[in-house]
Structure 1
């Protein structure tokens, strides 16, 4: 016990001259990150990575896509359609296989979709809010009429971008103007199920980069609430903010594929062909490709002829042996000739 006390006393005496100063807190805080400093890229979601792998091999499964996309949720179908559009694989069959009634945006710009596919989507997706049909060579005013008729919530429409789409857009100017229908009913009760108006009554933003002056003037007079080619701003004239879907600088479906790797739809450039050297003046004429195939077939047939003849002889001998072994008359004749030859 006394030894323990002496050890403690020695330790206390040895630490008596040690001065411990408390750790001071830093007075200056590190500078805050600047508003314009680049932000670190967040890791992609597992779902986005899976969609990226699926999109890279979309050519292999595009013909059978309707067999497994029925089990996908709507936002996954929309992402696959956006990738198919970027990979130049979007047509009527793919669009109809992926369409979902809950979609609110539809971007088929630059695709091979026709009036049939767009009309089918219009009847299925009645809640469409924004549609992009720019650079579509096979879309006419008839399909746009279906969109306007079946999608009363349409607020954003993108068109133009190629000669055919410009022609379609000019033909749709009268369809966009709101109209009042002439009604002749006997009572107010019968008017409850009748539409008083027609046209794009909810349309607010029209993205048409190369709109002609005549169409622009008609829209300004007949549709003053429609803003043609809106610019990015905090607030528009009506006091509301212009949505990003109405800006021509951004794809309509940019938010759908925002978390997916752009390499998913990057198509490698075709190898550059080397120009063939001009033929020499004294060179023999080039053999046509059909004649080359014919000569190659003749050469192969001549090379395989001995082997084919040997195989035919083997088949003939095997057939004769099977005949002698299975047929009783042939077997008796063979045995009789064998004994006669011995006698």
Structure 2
């Protein structure tokens, strides 16, 4: 979760690229929001190999990602349910080029009996995809997907239900950033970009220590922030615990009776 938080902050500060992404990637990730970043097909392919459990991916407004990168995500992340795309001319073009990747396919079967077939032998394409967030989808693409991918819901709304009766996941709502839950407790000042003018960069000295990679700087900043906020969180948890105990004592008759009896007993002993 910490790595994802660092990734989300880097994206918001417009510092997310292949180097940062590949340095932070973890196999436990289930969501990936690289929208509006400088990530390329190379970085996306690397993440597809590492994070094979991804179920929601946002590549909208990514000008350096093509259908080749999306193909890696589709082929390696077999649990992919939600895909966000479009948002800029290049990303719109990539989304249209990816239509064939989303269509179900029947592979060439060479086994002698059905018992010997594996699920992967029967079908291909984005078999698990159920939600496609593409706000400016063109009519032709929409008709194609509706005809050939009826299992995929395009631009779902909060009140929409699919055929199985399951509610639309919040990750499939265009109005909510995909990585919102990752940074909802993080102060927005963390990713605020200073408007101060840049100072001229002095020539590097070969005797100077090597510059810390940007991913490591983000990690250190996150660790420092966690250490700084830990006392405040502990205090807040104690206050919440005391408040809960007080509410319990006020609302529970038995607990209130015991408390009153204990107080009366102390008063009698003092007298």
Q: Common fold, TM-score beyond 0.5?
A: yes
Deviation at 1:182, TM superposition (A): 1.9
Whether 1:229 and 2:229 are equivalent positions in the alignment is no
Tell me how far 1:237 sits from its aligned partner: 4.9
Match of 1:127 in 2: 53
Q: Do structure 1's residue 218 and structure 2's residue 144 form an aligned pair?
A: yes
Residue of 254, 262, 266 corresponding to 2:180 = 254
Q: Give the alignment partner of residue 105 of structure 2, picking from 159, 163, 179.
A: 179
* Structure 2 residues not aligned, in runs of 5+: 198-271
Structure 1 residue 189: deviation in Å? 6.3
Query: Could you tell me how far apart the structure 2 residues matched to 1:175 and 1:260 are?
Result: 36
Alignment of 1:307-318 (within 5 A): none
Judging changes above 3 Å, is the alpha-carbon distance between structure 1 residues 176 and 266 closer, same or farther for their aligned structure 2 residues?
same
Alignment length (residue pairs):
197
TM-score (normalised: structure 2) = 0.69
Q: Which residue of 2 aligns with 1:21?
A: none
CA distance in structure 1 between the partners assigned to 2:119 and 2:112 by the alignment: 13
Q: Report the counterpart of residue 208 of structure 1 in structure 2.
A: 134
Report deviation, 1:128.
Answer: 0.3
**Residues in 1 aligned to 2:151 and 2:160: alpha-carbon distance in whole angstroms:** 18
Structure 2 matches for 1:69-88, cutoff 5 A?
75-88=1-14
Q: 1:98 aligns with which of 24, 31, 37?
A: 24
**2:113 & 2:119 partners in 1: Cα distance?**
12
- Could you say if the C-alpha distance between residues 167 and 194 of structure 1 is closer, same or farther in structure 2, counting changes exceeding 3 Å? closer
CA distance in structure 2 between the partners assigned to 1:184 and 1:234 by the alignment:
41
SS of the counterpart of 1:206?
strand
Scaled by the length of structure 1, the TM-score of the pair is 0.55
* Larger RCO: 1 or 2 (CA < 8 Å, sep 6+): 2
Q: How do 1:301-340 and structure 2 match up within 5 A?
A: none
The residue that corresponds to 1:196 in the other structure is 122
**Structure 2 residue aligned with 1:19:** none
RMSD of equivalent CA atoms = 1.6
Deviates more, 1:86-95 or 1:234-243: 234-243
- Paired residue secondary structure (2:185): coil
Structure 1 moving runs of 4+ over 6 Å: none
Offset of 1:233 from its aligned partner? 1.4
Distance 1:232 1:189, change over 3 A: closer
Q: CA deviation at 1:196?
A: 1.4
Q: Deviations over 1:4-38 (max 9, x none)?
A: xxxxxxxxxxxxxxxxxxxxxxxxxxxxxxxxxxx
Counterpart-to-counterpart distance in 2, 1:147 and 1:158: 12
Task: State the Cα distance separating 1:266 from its structure 2 match.
Answer: 1.5
Q: Structure 1 residues 188 and 241, CA, compared in 2 at 3 Å: closer, same or farther?
A: closer
Q: What SS does the aligned partner of 2:9 have? A: helix
Deviation at 1:179, TM superposition (A): 1.1
Distance 1:124 1:116 in 2: 13
The CA deviation at 1:83 is 0.3
SS in 2 for 1:131: strand
What secondary structure is seen at the aligned counterpart in 2 of 1:195?
helix
Q: CA deviation at 1:190?
A: 4.9
* Among candidates 122, 134, 137, match of residue 63 of structure 2: 137
